[in-house]
Amino acid sequence: MAHTAHIPSHRKPRRNVSTRTLRSGVAGGVLSTIAVTAAASSANAAPAAQTADMPTISASFAEDAAMSTAATQQAALNLEIASEREALAATEKKAAKQARAEAERKAEAERKAKARAAAERAEAAREAAAERSDRSEERTTLSTATTAAASTASSAGSSATGSAATVVNFVKAQVGKAYVSGAVGPSAYDCSGLTTAAFRTVGVSLPRVSQDQSTAGTPVSLNSLQPGDILYWGGAGSAYHVAVYIGDGKYVGAQNSSTGVVERTLDWDPPTGAVRVL
């Protein structure tokens, strides 16, 4: 009995060892599971933390990008403004250059115009001086010829005869009467009216105006004048004044409204030419 009773008590501790072993394994498994779970939780927790930080990184990147875009736009705007300023400066410079060129062109044109005007005035002055000189020479020549004619006529005296004497006496009798344009006497005359009236007394009908009377007879030299010849001033066919030569280097004519019919010497107002009607 005692030996049998001893066996059960010997086996009982074995059952306790197994139970402890089993419990230890279960506990270890539970702990392992807990450790694995904790590790998995830690592993899963890391991405969560990283994901939590991503919004902050994304916002910073967007802000940097916006600032970079704004800077680029500002730089482009600055370049555009600078380009516009350069274009405006170039346009203003071109306009100023054109204005200067136009001003210089006008100044040159004015200078040339003034030079031309001065040259024209100088040429006109030279021509006027030459014309005055020519007229002076012509008057000198005419005066010399008239003086010679007067001398020749004077030597012939006033020995007018016949019709010439009648004409001479008539015009002498009219001295002192008035000058009236278009008048043919008996109280007033104009220059061609006096000659017309004088030659009518001898039956000679003269053209009415001076231009025609200067070509009415035979042209004669001023060196060969005879009493009764018609003197004229101006060109033959375009004379503006006529008178009657009375001999002794004198003539009678209706001069103008201030003097009326007067007697003058040939050198007082030298005639241009003469015609002989009688």
Give the CA-trace dihedral at 191, 197, 202, 206, to 10 degrees: 60
* Cα–Cα dist 188/202, whole Å: 20
Q: Which of the four pLDDT bands, split at 50, 70 and 90, describes residue 265?
A: very high
Q: Which of the four pLDDT bands, split at 50, 70 and 90, describes residue 51?
A: very low
Q: So what's the pLDDT on residue 153? A: 45
Q: Which residue has the higher pLDDT, 273 or 68?
A: 273
Q: What mean pLDDT is predicted for residues 141-169? A: 64
Q: So what's the pLDDT on residue 222? A: 96
State what percent of residues in the chain have pLDDT above 70: 67
Supply φ then ψ for residue 210, to 5 degrees.
-60, -40
Most confident of 93-97, 110-114, 223-227: 223-227
Q: Does residue 25 carry a pLDDT above 60?
A: no
pTM of the shown model: 0.46
DSSP 207: -
- Could you report the per-residue pLDDT of 55-96, keeping only the tens digit for each? 555 677 777 778 888 888 888 888 889 888 889 888 888 899
> 161 vs 35, 169, 175, 264, 271, CA distance in Å?
183, 11, 21, 21, 24
Secondary element (H or E) of residue 209: none
Cβ-contact 193, 171 below 8 angstroms: no
Q: Which of the four pLDDT bands, split at 50, 70 and 90, describes residue 136?
A: low
Structure tokens at 102: 């136009």
Cβ partners under 8 Å of residue 229, min gap 6 = 220, 244, 245, 274, 275, 276, 277
Q: Does residue 237 carry a pLDDT above 80?
A: yes
Q: So what's the pLDDT on residue 26? A: 42
Total number of residues shown for the chain: 278
Q: Which of the four pLDDT bands, split at 50, 70 and 90, describes residue 254?
A: very high
Q: What mean pLDDT is predicted for residues 21-39? A: 47
Q: Does residue 22 carry a pLDDT above 90?
A: no
Q: What mean pLDDT is predicted for residues 109-126? A: 80
Query: For the chain, what is the mean pLDDT?
Result: 78
Give the range among 38-47, 122-131, 225-234 with minimum mean pLDDT: 38-47
Q: So what's the pLDDT on residue 119? A: 75
Q: Which residue has the higher pLDDT, 69 or 195?
A: 195
Q: Which residue has the higher pLDDT, 35 or 254?
A: 254
* Cα–Cα dist 134/123, whole Å: 16
Q: What mean pLDDT is predicted for residues 129-153? A: 55
Structure tokens at 168: 């001479």
Q: Which of the four pLDDT bands, split at 50, 70 and 90, describes residue 36?
A: very low
Secondary element (H or E) of residue 44: helix 2-156
Supply φ then ψ for residue 123, to 5 degrees.
-65, -40
Q: Does residue 122 carry a pLDDT above 50?
A: yes
Helix (H, G, I), strand (E, B) or coil at 102: helix
